[in-house]
Structure 1
Amino acid sequence: MSMIMQYARLRPSELAELQRLLAEAPDDAHDFVSDLARQMDTDKAWAGLEHLLKKLDPPVDVISGGTALTDDEWGYESPRLLTRDEVGSAARFLGGTPFERLVEGYDPAEFAAARVYPGIWDEEWAQDYLSGAYAHLVTFFRAAAAAGDSIVLWMS
């Protein structure tokens, strides 16, 4: 089974509805978020991106950060919320960090030594895989910030 990082943009009214569901009908909360159209995932590239981003000390951890919304798990972990302010800060950082800077000094042996999931980092296509996931992440966060959305994220 694969571990995939999921993201959903929430307008203020949707965040309020999610919080209501988490309090009153927690089993419906995941379905509510899953039905939203403004979603993306980083597939299995999340761990590689996290490894690279940590080296740049971003203001917001867009992979493992956020505030837990519930103790219930949506897949492998509880969903976490990045506030509108955190989304804006993350969008500025991601938008100002080109992929080339992110992968400066990319070393597959370092990824292997750090046991970065999913263990594909010596493959010829690994950087392209990371590049595509990073581009989607940057676009998603920019759009969320422009709309004033918060983001809920979880590992499925």
Structure 2
Amino acid sequence: MSMIGEYLRVTAADLDRAIQDPDWAVNFAEEVQDSEEEREPALAEARHFSTYKAWDVLRFLMARAEFPVNVVHGEEAFAEDEDWGYGPPRYLRPERVRVAAEALRDTSYAQLVSGVEPAALTSAEVYPLGWSEPGSLEWARPWYDGLTQFFEAAARADDAILIWLD
């Protein structure tokens, strides 16, 4: 079984509803995922995004770069009694989404990986393993670029983001 980083854009009103009614939130997340899986909207319009298995390398790289927002795990917990795969979901409020979008936009993937040796990821047991392969750090670039676009669209719409590992 894989661990997959999941993101869901929600309006401020939907965030409030999700916090009050976690069962509604998980059902809403599943509906959006199913709907978008069929029609594959552009990232600027997508409500759901996945970093696939790249979530942990992105966490490692962003922590090393001292990102101002926890983009990978979110910052505020809700539904603490719920398990959406690998623990409860978390979220970022719209103002934190804007800060994150700016940090993502201002930090290229090349900057994130600059000076990083694959051995450091292996030593830190960054998921998924296999960092000794040539070009392994480039593997996560498309997910970082997609995450950047997703957060920028969310920031423009003044959306919050739900985050979980599935």
TM-score by length of 2: 0.86
Matched, 1:45 2:54: yes
For 2:135 and 2:6, the matched residues in 1 are separated by 22
Against the structure 1 CA distance between its residues 121 and 98, is the aligned structure 2 distance closer, same or farther, given a 3 Å change threshold?
same
For 1:105 and 1:155, the matched residues in 2 are separated by 28
Give the RMSD, CA atoms, in angstroms.
Answer: 1.4
- Cα distance, 1:152 vs. partner? 0.2
- Return 5+ residue gaps in structure 1 as ranges: none
Structure 2 counterpart of 1:111, which letter?
Answer: L
Partner of 2:16: 16
Matched, 1:65 2:74: yes
Identity rate, percent: 36
- Cα distance, 1:125 vs. partner? 4.5
**Cα deviation 1:44-71 (Å, max 9, x = unaligned):** 1111111111111111010123111111
- Cα distance, 1:39 vs. partner? 0.3
Partner of 1:31: 27
Against the structure 1 CA distance between its residues 132 and 17, is the aligned structure 2 distance closer, same or farther, given a 3 Å change threshold?
same
* Partner-residue secondary structure (3-state), 1:62: coil
* Partner-residue secondary structure (3-state), 2:164: strand
Partner of 2:43: none
For 2:135 and 2:65, the matched residues in 1 are separated by 23
* Partner-residue secondary structure (3-state), 2:60: helix
**Which structure 2 residues correspond to residues 2-151 of structure 1 after superposition, within 5 A?**
2-22=2-22, 26=23, 28-36=24-32, 37=36, 38-71=47-80, 72-151=82-161
- Return 5+ residue gaps in structure 2 as ranges: 37-46
- Cα distance, 1:77 vs. partner? 1.0
* Partner-residue secondary structure (3-state), 2:54: helix
For 1:144 and 1:110, the matched residues in 2 are separated by 32
Contact 2:5 2:72 in 1 (8 A): yes
For 2:19 and 2:61, the matched residues in 1 are separated by 32
Contact 1:62 1:90 in 2 (8 A): yes
- Cα distance, 1:103 vs. partner? 0.5
- Cα distance, 1:97 vs. partner? 0.3
For 1:126 and 1:12, the matched residues in 2 are separated by 38
For 1:66 and 1:81, the matched residues in 2 are separated by 6
**Cα deviation 1:67-117 (Å, max 9, x = unaligned):** 111111100110101000110000000100011100101211111111111
Structure 2 counterpart of 1:44, which letter?
Answer: K
